[in-house]
Amino acid sequence: MERIKKYLSSRNLQERDRCLLWLTSFGIQSVVDLTPSTDLLRIIEHHINGSWDIERTYDEVRAFYHAQHEHDHGHHHRHEEADKVSARIVKYFLEGDFSLSLDSFCSTHRAMFHNLYRHSGHLREAAFSKKEWVLGNVSVIYPRHEEVRGFLEYLFDEERHVELSKMTERHQLRHICEFIAKLFRINAFQYANSRTTFVYTMKYLLSLGYRFQNDTFAREAWYFRNAIIRACYANMHQGVYPTTEYMEMFLGNLFLDEDNELRNHRMVIRGE
* Domain closes at, from 95, 119, 154: 95
Q: What is the pLDDT of residues 206-232, one digit of tens each?
A: 999 999 999 999 999 999 999 999 999
Whether 155 and 25 share a structural domain: no
Helices (H), the chain: 2-5, 13-30, 38-48, 54-70, 77-94, 102-113, 148-160, 169-186, 193-207, 216-231, 245-256
- CATH number (domain holding residue 128): 1.10.3290.10
pLDDT reported for residue 237: 87
Whether 162 and 233 share a structural domain: yes
User: How many structural domains compose the chain?
Assistant: 2
Whole-prediction pTM? 0.94
Whether 200 and 265 share a structural domain: yes
| Residue 67 C-beta-side C-alpha neighbours within 13 Å | 7
pLDDT reported for residue 271: 58
Alpha-carbon distances of 250 from 90, 231, 259, rounded to whole Å = 20, 13, 9
Domain range holding 46? Answer: 1-95
* Proportion of the chain above pLDDT 70, given as a percent: 96
Distance CA 133, CA 150 (A): 29
Whether 18 and 105 share a structural domain: no
At 270, is the pLDDT very low, low, confident or very high (cuts 50, 70, 90)?
A: confident
Sign of the Cα torsion 114, 117, 118, 123 reads negative
* Domain closes at, from 75, 95, 115: 95
Q: What is the pLDDT of residues 164-186, one digit of tens each?
A: 999 999 999 999 999 999 999 99
Whether 248 and 148 share a structural domain: yes
* Domain closes at, from 49, 76, 95: 95
Q: What is the pLDDT of residues 11-49, one digit of tens each?
A: 999 999 999 999 999 999 999 999 999 999 999 999 999
Whether 127 and 166 share a structural domain: yes
Whether 148 and 226 share a structural domain: yes
Q: What average pLDDT does the chain have?
A: 94
Q: Is 72 helix (H, G, I), strand (E, B) or coil?
A: coil
Whether 53 and 106 share a structural domain: no
